[in-house]
Amino acid sequence: MASGRDVLGPFRVAMSGLVYTFRTQRHMRVHIYVTLIAVLGAIILNMRMRELLVLLLMISFVIVAEMFNSAIEATVDLVQPSYHPLAKFAKDIAAGAVLITTIMAVIIGALLALGDETWERIRTSLTADNLGIGMVPRIFLGCFLVVLVVVIGKGLGKRGQAFKGGLVSGHAALGFFLAGTVFFITDNALAAAIGVLLACIIAQSRWEAKIHSVFELTLGATVGVILSLIMFGLIPK
């Protein structure tokens, strides 16, 4: 028959891992603090039990992902102390998993905070025949879509990093999206021309720094122009 010490041993090891992660990983401490704030906010908003359970489940996913990320980083550093592209790749993938779980937790937490009635009003307005989105939400939504398309484009390419280089130039995409935004929301031809000129200067700076090729800058500019056309030229006002 197993002794009490043998039964409690795995729990002590697990608690040691939790404490070590909390002490050594700054992101883990941030997650814990945010968890306390989120739970307190859920109590203040008088969330129902099911909503609170969903929130706690998503928070636990983020914390577990962060712990796996820390474990993978420690293992990679042990096996490959010096720099190696595959070691960096493993760390980046683990960090990406934490990012995905965090984004989903934030989205779900925000939807839970909105409540059923508020979400139903938003859903009804989005599906109405006279769909209308304000100017500022269009800009923010457009910027989000630009970033999303750029990230996907960089993933399809075989060179560059998330924030440097890659198949689609994020700087050119954002620059030409904002230039297109100015073109659609103003009747001032000079302002529109200045917007396009600034976007071209941004693209030129990335080319002169040898971060992007002309093809990659063209793809980025195309993404920006198309999304500005969709957000301000095609979606009903």
DSSP single-letter state for residue 148: H
Sign of CA dihedral 131, 137, 138, 142: negative
Residues annotated as part of the active site: 66
Please say whether the beta carbons of 179 and 196 come within 8 A: yes
What does the block give as tokens for 52?
A: 């609170």
Question: What angle (nearest 5°) sits at the alpha carbon of residue 163, between those of residues 161 and 166?
Answer: 45
Q: 90: closest CA among 63, 108, 106, 70? A: 70
List the structure tokens of 222: 């195309």
Is residue 177 within 8 A of residue 142, CB to CB? The reply is: yes
Tokens of 236: 């009903």
Q: Contact at 8 Å (CB) between 165 and 211? A: yes
